[in-house]
């Protein structure tokens, strides 16, 4: 698996012209494992959506080094995933292959085998025929990781993958994150547990609507940076002024 880097050049993302995260500048190096951290409302999810192409920055550039949006493996925050849709576990996993090949019809034997192997890798052997709606939160998260396994993407983005997930599942899925990292994939994950970040992620990006720090985790999570992020969050005004700066102009 060849790693692919993602470069952000002065990226600002807004909702109705109100910037949610602004002037982010830096690179996720090929094969890096980066935690995106910051207070609630810091713009972490917004930035991930801009990276995967679901939101278009109002200014700046997301350089995916030639990868198309569908080439990225993206796991949204749990609150955004609809589990009421009547899909089986196997079909949900196979959607990962569909993202890769563009066809669900006539899933070939090799893909079916890969799906069973992916389910086995996340500890859900034999769960294929169950309805996803009947799974626990932890089991469902395992299914979504199996889908990422099948998608086989060079860049994987996870948005709070372990929030409200039991400890055993978190451990198992963290092993998969390390496996992806060891395979040379580029992994970007929003996390809120700093101990987890320090233990598992060599790189970190600290956001508080603006970029506080980006680099080696120990440096980024220095007390001064965390205090600054918290101070900024305390001053957030939910009715912040509309950004009048036209797209594409420099600050």
**Among 24, 37, 42, 143, which residue sits at the site for ligand ADP (rule: CB under 6 A)?**
42
Q: Does 38 bind ligand ADP (CB under 6 A)?
A: yes
Q: Does 44 bind ligand ADP (CB under 6 A)?
A: yes
Report the candidate in 144, 143, 175 with the shortest Cα–Cα distance to residue 157.
144
- CB contact burial 186-204 (16+ within 10 A = b; e otherwise): bbbbbbbeeebbeebbebb
Which of ligand ADP, Mg ion, none has residue 46 at its interface (CB below 5 to 8 Å by kind)? ligand ADP
Distance of CA 65 to the CA centre of its chain: 18
Closer by beta carbon to ligand ADP, 45 or else 203: 45
Which of ligand ADP, Mg ion, none has residue 43 at its interface (CB below 5 to 8 Å by kind)? ligand ADP
| CB-CB contact of 232 with 208 (8 Å) | yes
Which of ligand ADP, Mg ion, none has residue 60 at its interface (CB below 5 to 8 Å by kind)? none
Segment interacting with ligand ADP (CB under 6 A) among 33-41, 84-92, 145-153, 221-229: 33-41
Report the candidate in 51, 30, 76, 66 with the shortest Cα–Cα distance to residue 185.
30
Q: Does 239 bind ligand ADP (CB under 6 A)?
A: no
Is 188 strand, coil or helix? strand
Q: Does 45 bind Mg ion (CB under 5 A)?
A: yes
Q: From CA 28, how far away is CA 37, in angstroms rounded?
A: 14
Q: Does 34 bind Mg ion (CB under 5 A)?
A: no
Q: From CA 184, how far away is CA 196, in angstroms rounded?
A: 20
Q: Does 203 bind Mg ion (CB under 5 A)?
A: no
Judged by the rule CB under 6 A, the positions of this chain that interact with ligand ADP are: 15, 20, 38, 40-46
């Amino acid at each position: 698996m060849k790693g692919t880097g993602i470069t952000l050049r002065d990226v600002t993302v807004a909702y109705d012209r109100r910037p949610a995260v602004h002037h982010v500048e830096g690179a996720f190096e090929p094969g890096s494992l980066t935690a995106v951290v910051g207070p609630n409302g810091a713009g972490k999810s917004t930035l991930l959506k801009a990276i995967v192409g679901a939101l278009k920055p109002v200014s700046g550039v997301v350089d995916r080094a030639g990868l198309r949006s569908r080439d990225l493996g993206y796991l949204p925050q749990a609150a955004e995933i609809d589990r009421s849709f009547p899909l089986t576990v196997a079909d949900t996993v196979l959607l990962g292959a569909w993202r890769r090949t563009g066809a669900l019809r006539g899933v070939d034997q090799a893909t079916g085998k890969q799906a069973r192997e992916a389910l086995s890798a996340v500890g859900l052997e034999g769960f294929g025929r169950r309805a996803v709606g009947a799974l626990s939160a932890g089991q469902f998260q395992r299914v979504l990781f199996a889908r990422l396994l099948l998608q086989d993407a060079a860049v994987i983005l996870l948005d709070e993958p372990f929030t409200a997930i039991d400890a055993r599942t978190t451990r198992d899925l963290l092993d998969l994150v390390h496996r992806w990292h060891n395979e040379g994939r580029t992994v970007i994950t929003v996390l809120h547990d700093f101990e987890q970040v320090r233990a598992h992620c060599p790189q970190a990006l600290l956001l508080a609507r603006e970029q506080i720090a980006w680099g080696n985790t120990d440096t980024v999570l220095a007390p001064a940076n965390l205090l600054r992020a918290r101070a900024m969050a305390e001053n957030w005004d939910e009715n912040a002024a509309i950004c009048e700066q036209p797209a594409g102009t420099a600050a």
